[in-house]
Structure 1
Amino acid sequence: MILDVLPRTARRSRARRASRILLSLTAMAALIGVDLPGGASGPPLGVTVWAQPGAEADRVGALFANGLDGGHSCTAAVVRSADRDVIATAAHCLAKTDNAVFAPGYRDGETPYGLWRITGVFVAPEWTAGQEPDADIAFATVAPVDAGRNRRIEDLVGGYPIAPEQAPRARATVIGYPSTMEAPLRCANRTGLHSPTQRRIACPDLSGGTSGSPWLVDGALAGVLGGFEGGGTVPEISYSAVMGGRALELYRAAAAVG
């Protein structure tokens, strides 16, 4: 099966160079594609491609610190909750949220599911007190910027279940928005432990802006890009704090308040 992956508009020459690299990788993936769980086909492990529109990618969105004109600097994902209004991201992405908006399914300047403002932030005390990398997982509640919308965000795009305490070598899929690109990237690979409290994954081109990207194991959120070195200082290796009981408590708190 040939992968249908097309380049999106990028705002800088660096992004265009990255797009050419991605297209080259995608061409290779089309030739040596492998079967993925559930019968879908895709690129080999460790190959980064454009994330195609659909249920998996549309639950992920770009975080804009100051509205659409300010550019997107982080990524977040919708997770399941009783009130259907909770997103997950890295704690360091929620330092300033007064004017922040979340755009699920964002592509090429289009916001097919609208813009969502942040109404509540849930971070661990260890992050607030000292920006502890092991606590760089957070949750937030959101509401539509357009007051005329009466549906919750999960009603529109669905939400990922939470799956803490995954095995060290779990296969994870990362979906995120580099700040220089206008569509999300997707990469799957086996994870490993950088330390007992930090996971690592080898995926190219996950550069600045992908902080907060969901790490999905069997379709459930098992972490977010962040933690050690803020998620990594090179785009080839990324990190996530291990999602344990502390993160689960934050999630439950966010879900209860929604």
Structure 2
Amino acid sequence: MLPRPRAVRRTRARQASRILAALATMAALTSVDVPDAAAGPPLGSTARAAADAAAARVGALFAGGLDGGHFCTAAVVRSEERDVIATAAHCLEDPGTTVFAPGYRDGEAPYGTWKLTGVYLAPGWTAGEDPDDDIAFATVAPADGAPSEPVEDLVGGFPVAAEQPAGATVTVIGYPSSEEAPLRCANTTALFSPTQRRIECPDLSGGTSGSPWLVDGALAGVLGGYEGGGTVPEVSYSALMGDRAVELYREASAAG
């Protein structure tokens, strides 16, 4: 039996309500209401990052634990379950033994360490390590010394912003392997190719792979992409945050 017109209207209203709720959730995840990540040293110079709210959302990736040495950088991003980090795909070769320490500084992990519970990589990366797909997301859960609440409840999370202009001013916060605190550098950027962004910032050496590239406080990429993020500390790269990366982000956010 065909539904009565009033029932059809109620069904359509419920469907519209669910669609609007989903759109509202994604808008909240991508809206910009974050600490000023651009505050810091003059453009083009690198210095130790202040221990502020933005730096607390960035952490080092360790092999096994704090004694294993940190080798990459990651950052907490907003998500439905408040448990997602962003980093470079090439930083997630061994997720089973990788832990994340947000706000790590001078040997201390103020928010404990977090194990990876899920990894989201683009097919282009898993099939052939396409540098245009060198952006990844992972879900995390408490490990050693971490509170039981989600990581985003502790430090907040950066919204994700795709399709930024070619000359956007970007702030990079990351951990060189030789440093025990994050460095910060901001500068204007340029397109290296239609799919890669380039920035000139000194001292962003090994270990800064996966560092968030922040535009007006929102994640617009991570240090990686072309040549794994670059072969010299003075020039770094990021794949553009395009449709494929945004889809990965949505998958990770919804997975929880």
Q: TM-score range by the shorter chain?
A: 0.7 to 0.9
1:187 aligns with 2:185: yes
Q: 2:134 touches 2:239 (CA, 8 Å); kept in 1?
A: yes
Structure 2 CA distance, aligned partners of 1:221 and 1:245? 14
Q: 2:78 touches 2:84 (CA, 8 Å); kept in 1?
A: yes
Q: Spell out, residue by residue over 1:184-211, the C-alpha distance to the aligned partner (whole angstroms, 9 max, x if none).
A: 0000000100100000000000000000
Aligned residues: 221
1:73 is aligned to: 71
Paired residue secondary structure (1:172): strand
Q: State the identity %.
A: 73
1:140 is aligned to: 138
Q: 1:178 touches 1:207 (CA, 8 Å); kept in 2?
A: yes
Give the deviation of 1:68 after TM superposition.
1.3
For structure 1, list consecutive stretches of 5 or more residues without a partner in the other structure. Answer: 1-36
1:22 is aligned to: none
Q: 1:51 touches 1:184 (CA, 8 Å); kept in 2?
A: yes
Query: Could you say if the C-alpha distance between residues 156 and 205 of structure 1 is closer, same or farther in structure 2, counting changes exceeding 3 Å?
Result: same
Structure 2 CA distance, aligned partners of 1:237 and 1:248? 25
1:85 is aligned to: 83
What does 1:120-135 align with in structure 2 at a 5 Å threshold? Answer: 120-135=118-133
- Amino acid of the residue matched to residue 176 of structure 2? P
Structure 2 CA distance, aligned partners of 1:141 and 1:209? 20
- Amino acid of the residue matched to residue 170 of structure 2? A
Q: 2:47 touches 2:183 (CA, 8 Å); kept in 1?
A: yes
- Amino acid of the residue matched to residue 188 of structure 1? A
Q: Spell out, residue by residue over 1:89-135, the C-alpha distance to the aligned partner (whole angstroms, 9 max, x if none).
A: 00000010111110000001100011000000000000000000000
Q: 1:123 touches 1:250 (CA, 8 Å); kept in 2?
A: yes
For structure 2, list consecutive stretches of 5 or more residues without a partner in the other structure. Answer: 1-34
Q: 2:112 touches 2:145 (CA, 8 Å); kept in 1?
A: no
Paired residue secondary structure (1:45): coil
Query: Could you say if the C-alpha distance between residues 139 and 169 of structure 1 is closer, same or farther in structure 2, counting changes exceeding 3 Å?
Result: same
1:230 is aligned to: 228
Q: Spell out, residue by residue over 1:5-46, the C-alpha distance to the aligned partner (whole angstroms, 9 max, x if none).
A: xxxxxxxxxxxxxxxxxxxxxxxxxxxxxxxx96x8642210
Q: 2:229 touches 2:237 (CA, 8 Å); kept in 1?
A: yes
- Amino acid of the residue matched to residue 140 of structure 2? V
Paired residue secondary structure (1:62): strand
Give the deviation of 1:80 after TM superposition.
0.2
Give the deviation of 1:146 after TM superposition.
4.1
1:160 aligns with 2:151: no
Paired residue secondary structure (1:98): helix
Paired residue secondary structure (1:192): strand
Structure 2 CA distance, aligned partners of 1:43 and 1:188? 8
Aligned pair partner of 1:52 in 33, 44, 50: 50
Structure 1 CA distance, aligned partners of 2:145 and 2:40? 39
Q: Which moved more, 1:144-153 or 1:60-69?
A: 144-153
Structure 2 CA distance, aligned partners of 1:147 and 1:167? 40
TM-score by length of 2: 0.84
Structure 2 CA distance, aligned partners of 1:74 and 1:68? 13
1:256 aligns with 2:237: no
Query: Could you say if the C-alpha distance between residues 116 and 127 of structure 1 is closer, same or farther in structure 2, counting changes exceeding 3 Å?
Result: same
